[in-house]
Amino acid sequence: MTATPIAPTSADHELYPSRGFLHDTWVIARRGLLHMRRQPEQLSDATIQPVMFVLLFAYVFGGAIDVPGGGEYRQFLMGGIFAQTVVFTAFGVALSLASDRKNRAIDRFRSLPIARGALLGGHALTSLLKALLPITLMSLCGLLIGWRIESSLPEAIAGYVLLTSFAFAMIWVGILLGSVIATPEGVTGIAFSLLFPITFMASTFVPTSTMPGPLRVAAEWNPVTTLADALRILFGNPNTPIAVGDPWSIAHPILYTALWIVAIVGICAPVGVRAYEKSLAK
């Protein structure tokens, strides 16, 4: 910017040029990573909780659940756990946006000469890095209980890319949630009343074929189902065999999930950014 001041001030000769969007984003992201380190209990939705689900379903409920088409339940389970865990990425972002607003950090940042969008960019970057933690942790935890990737390396990589992309999409959902909902408490409430049911009304823990009519239809079109199924296919794990009468989503889980990712980012990113800016302009 080459704006000329009306009245030059004493400190003008000491002004530093802007260091750009990426620099500012990284500074904000580093702060988010420090928060993560200083508040490990806030990570429970990404660490303890999925580990608990793995153990609970692998050892407590697993014996009672049959995988149609055969195969071991533990092999089936991991795709679902991965899917459920990345959905919760949205919760983490929403929570940090709401906390920033609650403790007024936001006012401080907004009075600084930060590149436009860097504040959200920083939060998004932290969340993406933060999403890698449970993905790694779940992989290790799975290995311990006997989960194995039985597919080729490119397929396995494709599985992790799909998973990370879904996490990326959920970040924008979280930005939207965190902008619309004012308080950290409200965010937690929504997470448990909205995100949790969505991850359970899916093939996360049980095959959709076991569900009653309308619930089954909802589960079949739920992207969490298709993400879990896609991961099972890409990791070479047992999955309900695709039958002739299955809906399109179940027949093409990878493509269907990818379309959801594109749609979520395409809609939630612009709407979320606008909602965020609106939530600031009071």
Partner 1 sequence: MLPSTHGAATSPTTPSEAGFGVFARGLVKRFGAMTALAGVDLEVPTGTVTAILGPNGAGKTTAVRILTTLSEADEGRAVVAGFDVRSHAREVRRRIGFTAQDATVDPLLTGRENLVMLGELHQLPRAEARARADALLADFSLDDAADRLASTYSGGMRRRLDLAATLVGQPAVLFLDEPTTGLDPRARSELWAVLDTLVTRGTTVLLTTQYLDEAERLANDIVVIDHGRVIARGDTRGLKRALGGDQVHVALVDGADLEVAARVVRGVTGRDVSIDAGARTVVAPTLDGLPALLRVAAGLSEAGVAVEDLGLRQPSLDEVFLTLTGKPADGDSAEAQAQEAS
> By the criterion CB under 8 A, which residues form the site for partner 1?
1-12, 14-19, 23-24, 27-28, 30-31, 34-35, 38-39, 103-105, 107-114, 281-282
Which residue in this structure is represented by tokens 């990589």? 157
Instruction: Please report how close the Cβ of residue 106 comes to partner 1 at its closest, in angstroms.
Output: 8
Instruction: Please report how close the Cβ of residue 259 comes to partner 1 at its closest, in angstroms.
Output: 38
CA distance 268 to 120: 13
> Which is nearer to partner 1, 105 or 254 (by Cβ)?
105
Helices (H), 88-152: 89-102, 105-110, 118-145
CA distance 280 to 26: 21
> Which is nearer to partner 1, 11 or 64 (by Cβ)?
11
> Which is nearer to partner 1, 18 or 210 (by Cβ)?
18
Instruction: Please report how close the Cβ of residue 105 comes to partner 1 at its closest, in angstroms.
Output: 6
Say how many CA atoms lie within 13 Å of 150 toward its Cβ: 14
Secondary structure element (H or E) that encloses residue 8, with its range? none
> Which is nearer to partner 1, 193 or 282 (by Cβ)?
282
Which residue in this structure is represented by tokens 């009306």? 6
Instruction: Please report how close the Cβ of residue 90 comes to partner 1 at its closest, in angstroms.
Output: 22
Q: How many residues does the chain have?
A: 282
> Which is nearer to partner 1, 16 or 64 (by Cβ)?
16
> What does the DSSP assignment read for 209-259?
GGS-HHHHHHHHH-HHHHHHHHHHHHTT---PPP-TT--HHHHSHHHHHHH
Instruction: Please report how close the Cβ of residue 183 comes to partner 1 at its closest, in angstroms.
Output: 16
